[in-house]
Amino acid sequence: MSKKKPVILVTNDDGITAKGIAALVSVAKRFGEVVVVAPDSPQSGMGHAITIGQPLRLKKSTIFKGIQAYECSGTPVDCVKLAVDKVIGKKPDLCLSGVNHGSNSSINIIYSGTMSAAMEAAIEGIPAVGFSFLDYGYDADFTLSKKVIDQVLKNMFSGKLPMQALYNVNIPKVSTQEYQGLKVCRQANAKWKENFVERKDPMGHKYYWLTGEFKNNDRKKDTDEYALKNNFASVVPVQFDLTHYGLLNQIEL
């Protein structure tokens, strides 16, 4: 008997028509049976939001030839929940999210719909990886991203990267010749210094537009920001337990 192919759930936060998810599907289908459930419109910055005040809708899509695919009216986390409960009907063997158009390194993971989808899978006991590429352009070249996805999946299925885990993978915006390989590292201590630009609409009413500058004050060489700056793809093992264990034995009430 031939070994049954693993079922791989693919989702994202940029929407089912984004180039990034097409790149992810093209590689993932070499490793297993791919099922796509992705938002029907961009959902960037949604974090771990779920839809509770309105109905969710699933619609079959033929965007990926030979791949079972659905577009969902909800958030990335909604997509994972519906995929497990209604589309696949069981836990897939692996969940892949992305490839996100833009960075999800360091503190960006908190706001990321891409990583929240992967994290939701991990909460359900499903191994998961979120992939992000440091190019926000709609027409970004995902050639290197495909190479990195292939490397990560080969390492997972061979046991070099533990399968029962959640990973945040960020890919530098460099050529394949400049690329230095995968680097397992920690999340850098960096954050956004935000600024809300005040403007007025044609009716003279005020509104605000969020802008900001990313500040990295973590200069150590074991971080994702250092890896990306030096042309490595960063691989950060992630957990969703937010307990501050260092304080547990220091607090007395």
The pair of three-digit structure tokens given for residue 45, joined into one six-digit string: 């910055």
Confidence at 180, pLDDT banded by 50, 70, 90: very high
Q: State how far the Cα of 110 lies from the Cα of 120, in Å rounded to an integer.
A: 13
pLDDT at 3 over 80: no
Residue 140 identity (one-letter amino acid): A
Q: State how far the Cα of 125 lies from the Cα of 93, in Å rounded to an integer.
A: 10
pLDDT at 238 over 70: yes
Backbone φ and ψ of 201, nearest 5°: -80, 175
Q: Is the peptide bond before 35 cis (omega within 30 degrees of 0)?
A: no
Report pTM. Answer: 0.93
Q: What is the pLDDT of residue 2?
A: 45
Q: What is the pLDDT of residue 225?
A: 96
pLDDT, tens digit, for every residue of 146-178? 999 999 999 999 999 999 999 999 999 999 999
pLDDT at 21 over 90: yes
Range 7-188+219-248 has CATH code 3.40.1210.10: yes
- With CA atoms as reference, report the closest residue to 79 among 133, 167, 127, 15: 15
95 and 11 Cβ atoms separated by less than 8 Å:
yes
Using CA atoms, how far residue 217 sits from 19, 132, 226, 240, 249, in Å, is 32, 22, 11, 24, 29
Residues 120-133: b if buried by 16+ CB within 10 A, e if exposed: bbbeeebbbbbbbb
pLDDT, tens digit, for every residue of 102-154? 999 999 999 999 999 999 999 999 999 999 999 988 789 999 999 999 999 99
Q: State how far the Cα of 148 lies from the Cα of 150, in Å rounded to an integer.
A: 5
Domain boundaries, the chain: 7-188+219-248
> What's the whole-number mean pLDDT along residues 192-215?
90
Residue 40 identity (one-letter amino acid): D
pLDDT, tens digit, for every residue of 35-71? 999 999 988 888 899 999 999 999 999 999 999 999 9
Q: What percent of the chain has pLDDT over 70?
A: 99
222 and 232 Cβ atoms separated by less than 8 Å:
no
